[in-house]
Amino acid sequence: MHIGSLQLEGLVVLAPLAGIGNLPFRLLCRKAGAAMVFSEMMSCHGLLRKQPNTWKMLAMDAAEKPLGVQLFGAVPEAMAAASVIVAAAGADAVDLNFGCPAPKVVRHRGGSALLKEPELLQAIVAACVQACPKPVTVKIRAGWDDEHINAVEIARRALTVHGRTRAQKFGGKAEWKHIADVVRAVRIPVMGNGDVTSGPDAKRMLDETGCAAVMVGRAAMGRPWVFTQINHYLKTGEELPEPSVPERVRWAREHHAGLKALKGERTARLEMRKHTAWYWRGVPGAAEVRRRVNTCETEAEYLALLDELEQAPPQES
């Protein structure tokens, strides 16, 4: 798949994940076989005002490339200026978020609110394309709600289409037919997104919609190895098993080390509470692991817990 001059060596990419898709997580997903990774969304105004927390989100590493950085906002000039900053920081592409359903974003006319303002959305895209030296991509939803499906109308640049409407948020079922409609309507690469959790899901989306690539988001939370599984299935038709407990421990250790290097010991330990719980989903004794990781008060306690889990995997009581 090509995005402008950028060529992807694969068909499965990591979606932007707010609060999750930071540098350590992206590195894990690239290691597992994601053809491209996208950052968590950043406020264009946060970048322009040099807000420390927003600028920290620009942390990058050559090992994660190709990297797309996602921006949100509703002012064309501000989005264009922010896209220049992102490109200068080293991003390989700039992604414009027109799909976020979060109320705090929507009430400021950002994210999926722009689906109701196609002219403003197009003005933002045009301003960014003109200003930014890197490829500009756009992530949208099928529409605002079932009565306002307008993905085809606003498909003007390289797209990722999430098959849900804004009204669905992350519930219900993604309607892939909306992705297929956009694929048929435009002559640019379209990535499909929504309800892909396995190799068979990815193959079915590619076949049913004709999209150029598949974007995986929530299914990668606690399962960065999902990219290995999907790639293997697309190549061989064989489904790989879920990793063993010792393998999950290795993923958790690497994730913790990356978070510690980026954010410090305390923040890494606290953030690993949710990540470790996700790593153990579906494993016997997962509830007890979740309870115990939430009681770890020091890094030493957390690492000791991982050692214990690796040596004696928990069993159902």
- Give the catalytic positions in this structure: 100
How many Å apart are CA 306 and CA 317, to the nearest integer? 19
* Residue 177 CB neighbour total at 10 angstroms: 12
Q: Residue 207: which residues within 8 A CB-CB, separation 6 or more?
A: none
The tokens for 77 are 């000039």
Q: Is 254 exposed, middle or buried (0-12, 13-18, 19+ CB in 10 A)?
A: middle
| CB distance 95 to 68 below 8 Å | yes
C-alpha–C-alpha distance, residues 266 and 268, integer Å: 5
Give the type of residue at 185.
A
